[in-house]
Structure 1
Amino acid sequence: MDRFYSIVLIVAIIVLIVILAYIGMQISSNAGQDTPYPPQHGHCPDYWESIERNNINVCQIPSANDEDPHPNLGSIYENGQVTLTTDSTPGYDEISNTIDFDDKKWYTGPCMKKKWANQFSIIWDGVSNYNDC
């Protein structure tokens, strides 16, 4: 009976070594790829509402309310007024107080959005922490 346990133990160790070697090879083959992180991001900054306007999804800029402050306004308001312009924020619509982040002027995609989010201290998971710029 002792011989049986020895054989089972040896086979189990060999199988474990083969499995660990396979896992190690899979990890090392993917290590050379520079995959941007995070791989995807939300359409709007965190806590902003995505609405449809003229068949286009746009982001509604939250209002500045002293009684109930919004958690993700950053520095886009000064003295209760929006400081954004169409030059600093492509796709910005002053009348509806929305931003179209799919506007073609956001030509570099996540990198330009990251620069904008960091400039105005806006938290946008997947954009403000994007690492492939």
Structure 2
Amino acid sequence: MFIIFILYKKIFVNLYMEFKKTVLIIAIVLLIGTLIFLGSMMSSKSKEANWPPKVAECPDFWEEKSSVNENGESIVACNNLHSLGKNSCKKTMNFSADRWNGSEGDCRKSKWAKGCDLTWDGVTNQQVCNNDVVASNDSSSTCK
């Protein structure tokens, strides 16, 4: 009877250990598969996203001051408090005008900022100028 008990115990322990080993292997495989799936989903979503998600009203490190004109329209004045960029560039700019809005406006902002040696996240580090947009000879889009 003692021999049967020892054999039963060895068989039970071996089966139990095999079960634990099998469960552990399955859990590790599922974890790795889930991590690969989540990583690929996050990677594909980050390629589709625009950066920055919201472009600032003013170039980097410029102060933004909002006011309302007599018509009730919001006007944003951008002030270069740190004297960044070329000295010949204006220290105060108003990008609320129609010429600075839309895809052509973004292109004008990019050309103006690059001409003044300024950085502007979402403007100077992105391809905002289409081939359809013709460079303007207007003096307000160049560095002053």
Q: Same fold (TM over 0.5)?
A: yes
From 9, 13, 16, the counterpart of 2:24: 9
Provide the C-alpha distance between the structure 2 equivalents of 1:99 and 1:6, rounded to a whole number of angstroms: 69
Aligned length: 108
Residue 128 (structure 1) shift: 1.9
Q: CA RMSD in A?
A: 3.0
Alignment of 1:1-133 (within 5 A): 1-23=16-38, 25-27=40-42, 30=45, 33=48, 35-53=49-67, 54=69, 55-62=73-80, 70=82, 72-75=83-86, 77-78=87-88, 83-84=89-90, 98-106=92-100, 107=102, 108-133=104-129
Identity %: 36
Residue 122 (structure 1) shift: 1.3
Kept in 2, the 8 Å contact 1:58–1:98? The answer is no
**What is the one-letter code of the residue matched to 2:80?**
P
SS across alignment from 2:98: coil
Structure 1-normalised TM-score?
0.60
Answer 1 or 2: which has greater helix percent.
2
Structure 2-normalised TM-score?
0.56
The runs of 5 or more residues in structure 1 that have no matched partner are 64-69, 85-96
Kept in 2, the 8 Å contact 1:110–1:130? The answer is no
The runs of 5 or more residues in structure 2 that have no matched partner are 1-15, 130-144
Alpha carbons of 1:32 and 1:50: their partners in 2 closer, same or farther (altered >3 Å)?
closer
Larger radius of gyration: 2
